[in-house]
Chains A and B, each alone.
Chain A
């Protein structure tokens, strides 16, 4: 009986290593498929980089609006997109709404008529488009 018992720890070690190696092999398969695709966070960092270049250096808070902010739009607020942007823009703080002189508009690919709403709400403003539905709005 004692002889058998002494093999139990070895069996546990063998099982753990085998399962661990099997899991590494499965991760390797996933990694091979994914290695050429960029992770979403790095993509967002690239998308937002020209926006940051166009913001004055002393700006530490900006407004944020997306398609859901436009009256009549049925789109829901995309929190994940907001979080991506907040991370990519930090230490600049994003705050929902149009209260700040500098505002990020993130209208995506959706066909949202946001400009009449901005004309009505902001009055005189400048807007720059950076692709991917991202706009930098300067409320004068």
Chain B
């Protein structure tokens, strides 16, 4: 069923690639690699948006799943046939075996094996994911898949977070519709696919802006963090959300590398999809919009319009969902946020817990400390990627957003922090690693090779 679940997901991934390629036409090898790894978050996200609208219109989800899969298969076959020469050429250029000569490739593969071992052992012990997976995410998928006309009963659930958006729930329901049964492997494979997209995106972005050895190193660091496997197998929305943050935020670096404003459309689309994944994405949508707004003011006015064009569709669906279907969020229940803002102790508690959580983050040794020492030792690259400060702005503003959410939370603050602080930090880790490794010297630079900005081919 793991293989079947993956096969059920594959047409959506193909659709995602076509959409990325349709928006951003570049056929350059490194750009195609970026688009290959944008395919899963983009395809899964768009499919869940369309599936949701279809279901809301009162049409059967089963029909949607098969129509979408049929379209994807026909499109893949047609475009594959039309471009078969270019595809063969691209595969030849990739020349996977040549990578083994570069020590970073086997090292990164070992890192991915570490991730896979950790993931499958945890998944074996918790096939339904962890608590929030069945209190919030997979339970909503069960209502949608098997609820018929009563699928909206999911919003009447008295516990959990029934106001949360439906990207995961819709995607899992579509997978189950194709499989013809409620398999626990469906949500697992979805999370695994998005986790691998996160690794692929980190690699392909770094490969584009800093070259291959830095890309393998960044991938290795992320893959060997046990918390990455832990969050992926949890089947919660945090791992997919981190993938969307990385996908959307990383495209800022891509824009500066190719100056194609179509990239901003993709960034807007992915930021919108992050808001369709989890409420925290609503904050990122604004934060990322600020970054693109700054690019518009400082470099190219038209990019902000492109960003908003991409954002429009998912944003519209999120607004419709929040206005007409979702119950009010627990965060906006009747309470006095002004009184909470005046409580100085809350500031210290949030800062203290945040710092401790950040310092403890890592695989037994603090990731922050290790990367801090590493940065001091290797230093800044002679040619850091352009636009890093804008990605950094996104990260800082998102942290500030989280800070204010905690500050005004109606829940018990200690409880709220203990339940979510590590997850919120995790959302920003892949994008943070991208930012740092785009700025630091690469292994090739340190070796003294005159590599410069161009990647090592």
Residue ranges of A at the interface with B (Cβ–Cβ < 8 Å): 2, 5-6, 8-10, 12-13, 15-17, 19-24, 27-28, 30-31, 34-35, 39, 41-42, 60-61, 79-80, 82-84, 86-87, 90-91, 93, 95-96
Contact = CB atoms under 8 A, between A and B. Distances in A.
A8 B377 contact: yes
A27 B122 contact: yes
Contacts of A82: 159
B138 A9 contact: no
A2 B446 contact: yes
B118 interface: yes
17 contacts: A5-B377, A5-B446, A6-B448, A9-B213, A17-B220, A19-B365, A20-B118, A23-B118, A42-B127, A61-B153, A79-B159, A83-B159, A86-B159, A91-B147, A91-B153, A91-B154, A93-B143
Contact of B126 (A39, A60, A80): A39
Interface residues on chain B, size class: 35 or more
Interface string B249-270: 0000000000000000000000
B107 interface: yes
Across the A-B interface, the 3 shortest Cβ-Cβ residue pairs: A20-B224, A91-B147, A90-B142
Contacts of B118: 20, 23-24, 27
A79 B128 CA distance: 18
A2 B446 CA distance: 7
A8 B374 contact: yes
B378 interface: yes
Nearest to A93: B153
Nearest to A15: B370
A85 B145 CA distance: 18
B370 A87 contact: no
Given A8-B377, A12-B217, A23-B226, A31 B447 contact: no
A20 B157 contact: no
B121 to A, nearest CB: 5
Contact of B125 (A5, A21, A23, A34): A34
Contacts of B110: 17
B364 to A, nearest CB: 5
Contact of A20 (B111, B121, B128, B138): B111
Nearest to B227: A23
Contacts of B135: 83, 86-87
Contacts of B447: 6
Contacts of A23: 114, 118, 226, 363-364
Given A20-B111, A39-B127, A5 B378 contact: yes
Contacts of A95: 156, 158
Contact of A24 (B117, B124, B145, B151): B117
Contacts of A20: 111, 114-115, 118, 223-226, 363
Interface string B90-134: 000000000000011001001100110110011011111001001
B153 A16 contact: no
A21 B125 CA distance: 19
Contacts of A96: 158
Nearest to A83: B135
Nearest to B143: A91
A41 B107 contact: no
Given A9-B217, A23-B226, 14 more contacts: A2-B448, A6-B448, A8-B378, A8-B446, A12-B374, A16-B363, A16-B370, A19-B363, A20-B363, A23-B363, A27-B121, A80-B131, A84-B134, A95-B156
A17 B365 CA distance: 12
A121 B203 CA distance: 64
A31 B123 CA distance: 10
B62 interface: no
A29 to B, nearest CB: 10
Interface in B154-177: 154, 156-160
Nearest to A20: B224
A12 B160 CA distance: 40
Nearest to B126: A39
